[in-house]
Amino acid sequence: MLDTFKGLIEAGSKEDDLLKNIDLKSLPVHVAVIMDGNGRWAKRQGLPRAEGHKKGAATARLITETAARLGIKYLTLFAFSSENWKRPVTEINTLMDMLHENMVSRRDLLIDNRIRLKVIGDLKRLPGKLKRKLQETEDVTSGFDRMQINLALNYGARAEIVHAVKTMLENGVAPSKVNEQVLSSYLYTGGCPDPDLVVRTSGEKRISNFLLFQIAYSELYFTDVFWPDFDIAAFFDAVIDFQHRKRRFGSL
């Protein structure tokens, strides 16, 4: 298994020791992450908040690579919530520019590693150049099946459910035909299995309007580590913790 991580982790390292404790036969199929703590990380470092977001973007790339090498099939990253528009305009503009830059400079990594990108959320409010680049990346990676990244932008779970219901009504779905499976298919994540594991960094212990319908039976993992410091070892810790849970889904 270490061969899979060649060039990323070293033999005998903490990461290598943790990797040996991961059962590859019981990996979570879908991991969702609330990437929290960029601003507080920057403040503790005496840096501008923008530096925290920059470091957080690097962490997102690292965790994406780690999850892909491990064999995780779906990874959902909560990048920008519908409530984040309340932040200062300068910070929002920095985040949007950074997202666009990542789509331009990192798209080849998705292509080379056969990773599909799907953007979830209400994208109408996003800058035009970012929307175009996101759409281009979605299109060019649509046939890849090694792993799927769901990037949640201008995302809110309550709005997602309302959007799904409105779309069902517009499509003439009869009330007698509505069930959990049908509603699920109209969500932004339609066609994607529900998360097995939800990780939230930075010490906060709440869901913050994230995938409320989809995580009904997900395992929740909270860590005090700020997102910019959430490294390979921290990700492995979360997976190992998940594998020690007993998932009953309401049964005994």
Query: Of these residues, 36, 38, 102, 237, which one is catalytic?
Result: 36
CB 157 within 8 A of CB 189: no
- Whole-angstrom distance, CA of residue 23 vs CA of residue 3: 16
Query: Of these residues, 16, 84, 113, 229, which one is catalytic?
Result: 84
Cα atoms found within 13 Å of the Cα of residue 221, Cβ hemisphere only: 24
Is residue 84 part of the annotated active site? The answer reads yes
Catalytic residues: 36, 84
